[in-house]
């Protein structure tokens, strides 16, 4: 499970870097470029928090 999570982290990081470099060639406002860079990181943070809550709930004793 940890290997898959690390792979997903690297994939999202690579995608955000690629999309940011692709947008660097376009003449778009800076705020749009920043949003494309930050959006995958926000998604990753949400997935991490959801996974942490789920794994924590499994380890708690019932009741």
User: In this predicted model, what pLDDT tens digit does every residue of 35-44 receive, in sequence order?
Assistant: 766 777 788 7
Cα-only R_g, the chain? 16
Q: Is the pLDDT of residue 33 over 60?
A: yes
Q: Is the pLDDT of residue 32 over 60?
A: yes
What is the model's pLDDT at position 59?
65
* Residue 56 or residue 60, greater confidence: 56
What is the model's pLDDT at position 63?
54
User: Is 20 exposed, middle or buried, given 0-12, 13-18 or 19+ CB atoms closer than 10 A?
Assistant: middle
- In this prediction, residue 14 has a pLDDT band, given cuts at 50, 70 and 90, of confident
Q: Is the pLDDT of residue 1 over 70?
A: no
Q: What is the token pair recorded at 56?
A: 């924590």
């Amino acid at each position: 499970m940890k290997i898959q999570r690390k792979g997903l982290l690297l994939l999202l990081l690579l995608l955000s870097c690629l999309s940011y470099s692709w947008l660097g060639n376009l003449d778009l406002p800076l705020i749009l470029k920043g949003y494309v860079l930050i959006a995958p990181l926000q998604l990753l943070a949400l997935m991490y928090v959801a996974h942490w809550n789920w794994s924590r709930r499994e380890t708690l004793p019932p009741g």
